[in-house]
Structure formats: structure tokens, C-alpha cells
Amino acid sequence: MTVTTPTRRGALGVIAAAAAAFTLGTPAHAQVDFSGQTIEWIIPFGTGGGSDTWARFNAPFLSKHLPGNPTVVVVNEPGGGSTRGTNLFTQRARPDGLTILGTSGSTQFPYLLGDPRVRYEYQDWSVVMVGPTGGVAYVSPSTGVESIDDVANLQGQRLVYASQGATSLDLVPMLAFKLLGLDVNYVFGFGGRGDGRLAFERGEVNIDYQTSSAFISNVTPLVDEGKAVPLMSWGVLDDDGNPQRDPTFPDLPILEEVYEMVHGEAPSGPMYDAYKAFNTAGFAAQKMVVLPEGASDELVETYRAAWRDVFADPDYQATFEDALGSYEQVTDRGADALFSAGTNIDPEVRSMVVDMLASEYNVRLGD
């Protein structure tokens, strides 16, 4: 198959590209004042992972551009593959704008799969910002892999991966590794991808993945020290929905290329369809900022106006790519489009994945 390398910021994906076209002008700033207030930004993951990195980068800019310049504090509430902190947000957050939630694909996936731990309903919330992102899988050099050219060396090895849970964002690498025919032992129960990376650094696991922001900040130094070897990125989609290399990691192949290296043909079939579906839900629409049920139109517009100002801030424009990668963040109707894409799934794909999780990993979900 032929996979081209997109230009900088040129391949956010078919959904993100279409969403950007909907980002139109909206009313002037609503008359809300957060002076002297503290806003808690709930992140349902531990520190050091991609969502935590993303939120801590954005928080000072949000504080700067919300009316009254409130203090924005990132509060980590890990557990349950992100369902614990999200459930707490649903139970406790008041619709006054003082509590917001940052979700991830790891929050979307349990919802999409009907995980009984989920006590939240995306359709009750108001989305004010969506941050597409990417991800990179990497291995320890102890596997005998020095570069992607050595990927065949992974065949037949017993690999170990520290997972937040089978219904978390880790489902994307799980499907990818299954497609490649890798023998991976999943150790479930880690609080976040940051914890998984630490297990990798301690030598407890030998294969891992991080979202782009966490890979850039926390794994690149390991690569430079020869302690980690990048394998592939999850890529992006072009305007026609075709997989392309991630513009943040243009030198890394994507799953489709690695599959062809291993199997000699392009991937196809139901498992690949599932990989594509969850890759889209988990990355093109991966990170969302939402307000709780009952938030007024005035509050929603206040937050969206703040995000528009954040995206136009010269300091933000000068620094966000180094921190988060080449992924345009969106609000307004663009965020609405991505929100819809990330919170809906084909029932047949859902059923197949639920059956796979039950039969192969003894993970049983409610209907």
C-alpha cells in the first residue's frame, strides 16, 4: 500500500478537517465573571500521562482568557480506567462553571462499549473544546529491536504491557498488537499511561504506548538515551479517510505500514475495522473539555470564547506544537462535530469487540 507523509498540520483527519470547516463566528463574550474564583479541572488519570500533560499545558492559558482570570487547578482523580473520576464529576459538579472535566479516549471507550462502571452520559454534557492527538508505540531495546526494521524480532517473544484496562484507550494498541500477531501479556489496573511509562522505565514491562504530548515530553529523552525504541504511530486520516503518517512523527510508520512489513499485505477484515473505529474515536476526537449537565448557554459561550482567545494567543501558538504536537485544537461547531464522532459507534463493531474482550481477556461488560 502507498502511504504518504502529510505536510505540517496538514492531516488532522477527515473528521477534524470537516469539523474545522464548521468553526464559524459566534456571539460576543457572555457576561460571566470568575474574578477571585478557583476552577477545578478534573483529569480522571494520574500525573505524568498524556491527559495530565495536555491539561497542565492548557490550564494557564485558560486562566488568562476566562473573564476575571480565575485560578485553574488541575485535579487528578485516577482509577477505573478513568471511570472513577468521571463518575465523581457527574455526581458532584455543579453547573456554575467552577468544575470542568477533561475526558480522553479512555473515558469514551467504556461509554461506547457499555462498561457497567460508567455512571456518566456524554449527551448530558456541553463540549467546549476538543483536542485531537496521536500516539506512539515503543519497545525496550532488551527485545532485540534497534529500529522499526527489526520488528520481525518481536514475533514469538513474550511481551508485557502495563494497561489501564481493556476498555481504556489501551484498546487501540491492544487491537494493533493483535493485528500484528504479537504475543502480549497485559497487566491491568494501572492508573494512567504515566504509570505505564514508569513501569517501562523500571524494566517491569517491555512494550508501551503514550499519547503524543506524553511521548514528546517523557519518552523522547528515553529514546535519546537508548532506553526506548519507537515502533509506530497511530497516524491520522486524510480528507478522504485514508490513513496517513502523523505530521508530528513523520519518520515513524503507521500500523498499516508495519502490518504490511510483517504480513506482506495490507490489513483488512473485521479486526482492522475495529482498530480503525476505535482509533478514530480515541484520537481524532480524543481529548474533550466539557461542562456538567445544566450548564447555561451563557456559560458554554463564555468557555468557548475563552478557548477561541487561547487558540489566537501568540504565546500559545508559539509553544503548543512543541508541547502537544501538530494537532489543531478546536471549539464551537468543530468541537460539536468531533464530540459526535467520538461518542458514537457502529453496533456491530461494538459487539465484536465486546465478544473479543470476554473470550480472550475475560473482560465482561454489561449490555
Give residue 6's pLDDT. 42
The type of residue at 166 is A
Give residue 80's pLDDT. 87
Give residue 26's pLDDT. 45
Other Cβ atoms within 10 Å of 222 Cβ, number: 19
Give residue 326's pLDDT. 82
Sheet holding 38-43, edge to edge: 71-76, 38-43, 99-103, 287-291, 126-131
Give residue 301's pLDDT. 97
Predicted TM-score (pTM) of this structure: 0.76
Give residue 366's pLDDT. 52
Q: Which domains does the chain have, with CATH numbers?
A: 14-133+283-347 (3.40.190.150), 135-281 (3.40.190.10)
Whole-angstrom CA distances from 183 to 164, 168, 236, 320 are 18, 20, 26, 37
Tell me which DSSP letter residue 22 carries. T
Give residue 364's pLDDT. 80
Give residue 289's pLDDT. 98
Residue 273 CB burial class (10 angstroms; 0-12, 13-18, ≥19): middle
Give residue 102's pLDDT. 98
Which residues lie below 8 Å from residue 9, measured CB to CB, with a gap of 6+? 247, 326, 327, 328
Q: Give the pLDDT confidence of 92-136 residue by residue, as tens digits.
A: 999 999 999 999 988 999 899 988 999 999 999 999 999 888 999
Could you report the average pLDDT of every consecutive run of 10 residues in the chain (367 residues)? 41 45 46 96 92 95 98 95 95 97 92 92 96 93 94 93 89 95 93 91 97 92 97 83 88 96 93 90 90 97 98 96 86 89 87 93 73
